[in-house]
């Protein structure tokens, strides 16, 4: 996809060896970074990409995400043991899950799609893919029939996101993409253009949309098909800066930034993805159950600065009622929420109820100045997650 992104005006950045479009420069705008501690030269262009997905439609080239094919007679058993969520679903369903270590910490943050009875596709972030691949292979017993293959290079991936995404995609395929026929969490191979892609109704930006896994040999054709049909609709290419601002408004986590192997799902606000009573349990269940019984004294909290001007980066100190209680993990400007938005870890002196972490006077220190901030354990944007399911 590099050539297509470059032709569309991409200003590239690097992530784990991948050259990726961070933002797209309109015609006549220099394709360069002019660095600043304030609003940089790409700010307004990334804002336009952000708003395109919130209000209309955009396409993000997410080909750098890792893909592993897990298959064999015991593939379901291995993945069930490793995953905190229940991945033993019907075929053509996607499940968001964490893989835990024996101490209950998050070793990986992935999605698992069941392709058939004995075949699964696991998607992982580019920064963690090799780590996740090695971790999963270590969990396979000598007597288990299960193989794990890196198939990242066989497929490009395009995330078609926004409230108008169905309007774009439906005329291009014979598959019924209605909410009733293709609900959130479904994955299926569909025709598109002159080929077939795997479309999954899921989101990392908090809007209606489909992730398209595209065979490498037709990736340029699928890009052209989307943008030719999308031109009258105002379709825009969208970079990773905007993807980051979109996911932070929705409170979506990123392993290595917001969560790690020292953090458990209860502290990270991911308890909804833990299926405690699934048959066979999962690695780390006992430690996680003990942590639940002991209570939580640290949590990952979403913040929004009340002053719309300052820019948060990451690692800024967090104060509650004048006392330093934590740090910002990741941040970006939230163009829909109207201020810098962040995920940050907050520590209490001992186990506290959920409400404690949202109460109090919060401030985040930026270059020596403390700026008031609003705290929430629920996503500030679309807290009921209704938009992706529309």
CATH number of 337's domain? 3.30.1360.120
- Nearest-angstrom CA–CA distance, 88 and 279: 10
**Does residue 65 belong to any structural domain of this protein?**
no
Phi, psi dihedrals of residue 232, rounded to the nearest 5°? -65, -20
The DSSP bridge pattern shows strands 236-238 and 58-61 to be parallel
Domain count, the chain: 1
Average pLDDT over residues 92-96: 98
HSE-up of residue 222 (Cα within 13 Å, Cβ side): 28
339 close to 306: Cβ distance less than 8 angstroms = yes
The answer to whether residue 336 sits within a structural domain is yes
Is there a domain that residue 362 lies in? yes
In whole angstroms, give the CA distance from residue 12 to residue 223.
18
Q: Is residue 117 part of a domain?
A: no
Please state the φ and ψ torsions of residue 300, each to the nearest 5 degrees: -90, 120
Please compute the mean of the pLDDT values over residues 338-343 and round it to a whole number.
98
- Per-residue pLDDT of 109-150, as tens digits, reads 999 999 999 999 999 999 999 999 999 999 999 999 999 999
Beta carbons of 245 and 333 less than 8 angstroms apart = yes
Q: Residue 344 is encoded by which pair of tokens?
A: 């940050």
pLDDT digits (tens, 9 = 90+) for 230-243: 999 999 999 999 99
pLDDT exceeds 90 at position 43: yes
- At 13 the pLDDT is 96
Residue 358 belongs to a domain:
yes
Q: Which domain holds residue 356?
A: 1-60+139-259+291-390
pLDDT band at residue 379, thresholds of 50, 70 and 90? Answer: very high
- Measure the CA–CA gap between 8 and 15, rounded to whole angstroms: 20
| 207 assigned to some structural domain | yes
Return the percentage of the chain with pLDDT > 70, whole number.
100
Q: How many Cα atoms within 13 Å fall on the side-chain side of residue 54?
A: 19
CA dihedral 151, 272, 349, 260 (to 10 degrees): 0
3-state secondary structure of 282: coil
**For 77-101, b where at least 16 C-beta lie within 10 A, e where not — what string?**
bbbbbbbbbbbbbeebbbbbbbbbb
Question: pLDDT tens digits, residue range 182-233?
Answer: 999 999 999 999 999 999 999 999 999 999 999 999 999 999 999 999 999 9
Mean pLDDT calculated for residue range 342-365? 97
User: Exposed e or buried b for every residue in 15-35, given b needs 16+ CB within 10 A?
Assistant: eeeeebbbbbbeeeeeeeeee
Distance CA 20, CA 153 (A): 15
The pLDDT-based confidence of 37 (bands split at 50, 70, 90) is confident
DSSP 337-380: TTEEEEEEEEE-SS---HHHHH-S-EEEEETTEEEEEEEESS-S
**What confidence score (pLDDT) does residue 16 get?**
87
| Cα Dmax for the chain | 61
364 found inside a domain: yes
At 322 the pLDDT is: 98
CB 199 within 8 A of CB 183: no
Give the N- to C-terminal CA distance of the chain in Å, as an integer. 29
**Within a domain: residue 265?**
no
Question: What pLDDT was estimated at residue 73?
Answer: 98
Confidence at residue 69, expressed as pLDDT on a 0 to 100 scale: 98
236-273 confidence digits (pLDDT tens): 999 999 999 999 999 999 999 999 999 999 999 999 99
């Amino acid at each position: 996809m590099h050539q297509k992104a470059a032709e569309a005006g991409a200003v590239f950045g690097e992530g784990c060896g991948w050259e990726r479009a961070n933002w797209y420069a309109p015609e006549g705008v220099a394709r360069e970074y002019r660095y600043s501690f304030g609003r940089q030269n790409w700010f307004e262009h990334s804002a336009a990409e952000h708003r395109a997905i919130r209000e209309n439609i955009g396409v993000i080239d997410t080909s750098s995400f890792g893909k592993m094919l897990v298959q064999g007679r015991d593939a379901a058993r291995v993945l069930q043991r490793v995953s905190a969520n229940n991945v033993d679903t019907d075929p053509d369903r996607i499940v968001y899950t964490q893989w835990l270590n024996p101490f209950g910490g998050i070793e990986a943050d992935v999605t698992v799609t069941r392709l058939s009875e004995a075949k699964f596709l696991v998607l992982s972030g580019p920064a963690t893919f090799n780590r996740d691949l090695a971790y999963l292979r270590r969990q396979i017993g000598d007597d288990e029939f299960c193989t794990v293959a890196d198939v990242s290079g066989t497929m490009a991936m395009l995330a078609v996101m926004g409230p108008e995404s169905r309007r774009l995609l439906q005329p291009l395929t014979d598959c019924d993409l209605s909410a009733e026929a293709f609900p959130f969490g479904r994955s299926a191979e569909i025709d598109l253009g002159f080929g077939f892609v795997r479309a999954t109704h899921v989101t990392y930006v908090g809007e209606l949309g489909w992730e398209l896994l595209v065979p490498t040999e037709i990736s340029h054709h699928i890009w052209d098909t989307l943008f030719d049909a999308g031109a009258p609709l105002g379709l825009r290419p969208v970079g990773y800066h905007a993807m980051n601002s979109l996911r932070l408004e929705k409170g979506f986590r990123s392993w290595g930034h917001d969560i790690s192997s020292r953090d458990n799902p209860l502290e990270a606000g991911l308890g909804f993805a833990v299926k405690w009573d699934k048959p066979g349990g999962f690695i780390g269940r006992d430690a996680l159950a003990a942590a639940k019984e002991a209570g939580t004294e640290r949590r990952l909290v979403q913040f929004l600065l009340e002053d719309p001007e300052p820019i948060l980066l990451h690692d800024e100190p967090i104060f509650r009622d004048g006392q330093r209680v934590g740090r910002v993990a990741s941040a970006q400007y939230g163009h829909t929420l109207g201020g810098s938005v962040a995920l940050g870890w907050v520590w209490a002196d001992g186990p506290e109820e959920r409400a404690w972490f949202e109460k109090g006077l919060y401030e985040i220190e930026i270059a020596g100045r403390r700026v008031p901030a609003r705290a929430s354990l629920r996503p500030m944007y679309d807290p009921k997650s209704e938009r992706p399911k529309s």
